[in-house]
A = this chain, B = another copy of it.
Amino acid sequence: MFDAEKEKVKIVKYIRDYFKANHLDGVVIGISGGKDSGVVAGLFTEALGKENVLGVSMPCHSRQSDYLDALSVASFYGFEIVTIDLASTFDNFTDKISQLGEFSVEQLHNSNINFKPRLRMATLYYLAALYSSIKHKTYIVAGTSNKCESFVGYFTKWGDGVSDINVLGDLTVEEVVKIGEVLHLPKEVLYKVPDDGLSGQSDEEKLGVSYQDITKYMNGEYLAKDIQEKISTLHKNSLHKFGIPTYKK
């Protein structure tokens, strides 16, 4: 049985131990307004104190409601949040691309969807280095990928999938929610239907399988054969996101 209170205490200790061993002080977290970044923020605030947590909201042609939820997470835990609206940077970049030729919305779809998480990752590292410099402390970037997302590769390679430390990587979606309850994460954030805020579809619609079924698959529980095969294919196709094949002499 998953004991969320106990697990939370262990994660907080893990963060404190890692920071102490590596002479680190602060953390930068991209706050999307969804539950994963909310739970990560709650855990780091408890581990390091709110004065050592910097939240970053990075709207990029995205929903105002997510932005407001991000602010509410920061205000609930009491840490500083800065907003970097990436829309004009994104537009500047895509204008450059349009100089290469005329491309349809469909042709640009995958490129555009995955550019944003990479730009956000670069922004988080930009701010971690900047805050390290102005605060005379060492800031690192926290990741927010949970175990279900990681298993099926539901993240952008070298975008939201990468960070300096990840405390949710071994927790299923259901477990993240339970820890969110222990952390009293605002309900409208904790129980929001997860989506990427980019494609207009919910995560589960996009994936074609539910997080619950992914958890069942990972636990070896019974699943209909077509769902089993879908998850297995997603997993196999995601493996390239975890390492770099390198020629050896």
Contacts and interface: CB of A to CB of B under 8 A. Distances in A.
Interface of A: 7, 10-11, 14-15, 18, 22, 82, 84-86, 88-89, 92-93, 96-97, 100, 103, 106-111, 114-115, 118-119, 121-123, 125-127, 129-130, 132-134, 143, 157-159, 162-171, 240, 244-249
Contacts of A107: 130, 133-134
A118 B122 contact: yes
A247 B163 CA distance: 13
A73 to B, nearest CB: 19
A81 B60 CA distance: 29
Contact of A121 (B96, B118, B123): B118
Nearest to A108: B130
B96 A84 contact: yes
B125 A122 contact: no
Q: Which of A10, A85, A96, A159 has the most CB of B within 10 A?
A: A96
B118 A166 contact: no
A244 to B, nearest CB: 5
In the complex this chain forms, how many copies of it are found?
Answer: 2
**For chain A, what secondary structure do more than half of its interface residues adopt (helix, strand, loop), or is it mixed?**
helix
Q: Which of A109, A115, A164, A247 has the most CB of B within 10 A?
A: A247
Contact of A119 (B10, B122, B134): B122
16 contacts: A84-B100, A85-B96, A86-B96, A88-B96, A108-B130, A111-B129, A111-B130, A111-B133, A118-B121, A119-B122, A158-B158, A162-B244, A165-B245, A166-B246, A167-B246, A169-B246
A129 B108 CA distance: 8
Nearest to A58: B96
Contacts of A127: 111
A167 B97 contact: no
Contact of A118 (B85, B114, B118, B165): B118
A126 B97 contact: yes
Given A115-B122, A126-B115, A170 B247 contact: yes
A125 B121 contact: no
Contacts of A126: 93, 97, 111, 114-115
A97 B158 contact: no
A157 B125 contact: yes
A169 B110 CA distance: 29
